[in-house]
Amino acid sequence: ETVPDAVGVDWQFPVNYIGHSAAKSSPRPTPDGESIVIAGDTGRVHSVTPDGKQRWTYRSGATHLGIHSTPTIVDGVAYVGGYDGDLYAIDVETGEEVWHLQHVAMGGPTAIGSSPAYWDGILYFVAEYLSPKTGALWAVDAATGSPLWSDHRMGGMPHPSPAIDPATERLVSGSNDGVVYAWEFPSLEFAWEFETEGHVKGTPPVYEGKTYAGSWDGNFYCLDLADGEELWRLETGDIVMCNPAVDPTTNAVFQGGDDGYVRALDADSGEVRWRTNVHGHVIGSLTVTQDTVLVGSYDTNLYAIEKETGDVRWTVENNGHVTSEAVPHDGHIYYAERAHIDHWWDDSQEAVLQQPGHAYRLSER
């Protein structure tokens, strides 16, 4: 996909209403391009046409903190987890429930913030448990919702999404206990773990036998997928929790963090090619396109940054923090933001919703 030189907002509608600090779910176009599936923090999953007309709304049981998982769409079915600990399969044409895996069948997780990874008929995702505060990697039959396997070694109520690299036969995930875990794939025998000194909340992408993970210890790590050996690290001096993006065409990995900068790094050496100030925390997913990097910031702007130079091509100002992935599709860009809530971080005053968080479509202007 390419990104226009200038953009404007085609449409927007409210989807997010709470101040929960997790990144918001990202809009997901269906493979045929006829629908955009958008999950919100009220627990509702919406389907709209590319021009913004409502097709259907599915109401999940995740009514407390809603849905932050991004839907995975395969063969006409959207799979998404909720903060009720349940996993949902929804027909993308009709909005009808295909199946619903309840948390009691998985030992009572309190949430699934992880976005499912799909491979050969099986969904892989991470579930969070409250008492004690632990996590588990699950494998579930995509056709039936039947649990097939789980590993409960994770700690700290994790919600990163797993990444699969069939070339090196590894499945990898981060965790809130500060550890990056890897399993052999598809056997799911445990392979290795790498410990950092802070939470690992971002999804670690896999590329050319390596994986990349940011930590709350202020470092961004490159690890060998085969054995978990540290190949290099970048010290940022602040929390790193976003999902990085990898660009095979330039052998670059793009990283953001709480220091307010987006960086282009050499994927092999970690050398910084450029860095750009986006004036706020970056906690969502970076998207790399043919010519730009798309990234949302706590300064309420969505940025399009030139991939080669780090120059800002354009920004779009929004109501709340932009923490979803910006998804380019068929000449448009879809994304979602947090609600604008006054005093959310101030316990001495009552939080007041000023503006719900919206889902957007941008197009060339």
Contact 118, 72 (CB under 8 A): yes
From CA 239, how far away is CA 319, in angstroms rounded? 24
Instruction: Report pLDDT for 19.
Output: 77
Q: In the predicted model, is pLDDT for residue 350 greater than 90? A: no
SS3 state at 352: strand
345 pLDDT above the threshold of 80: no
pLDDT tens sequence across 94-105: 999 999 999 999
Compute the average pLDDT of residues 346-357: 87
Instruction: Write the pLDDT tens digit of every residue in 253-296.
Output: 999 999 999 999 999 999 999 999 999 999 999 999 999 999 99
Cα dihedral: 137, 142, 147, 151 (round 10): -20
pLDDT at position 198 is 97
C-alpha distances in angstroms, 254 versus 166, 190, 339?
A: 22, 28, 26
Q: What share of the chain is helix, strand, coil (3-state, %, to 5)?
A: 0, 50, 50
pLDDT reading at 344 higher than 80: no
Residues in the chain: 365
Q: For residue 69, what are the contacts with CB-CB under 8 A and spacing of at least 6?
A: 25, 39, 80, 81, 82, 112, 113, 114, 115, 116, 125
Distances (CA, A) of 238 to 106, 153, 159, 334, 338: 35, 27, 20, 29, 22
* Residue-level pLDDT at 20: 75
The tokens for 343 are 């005093």
Q: What average pLDDT does range 323-351 have in this prediction?
A: 90
* pTM listed for this prediction: 0.96
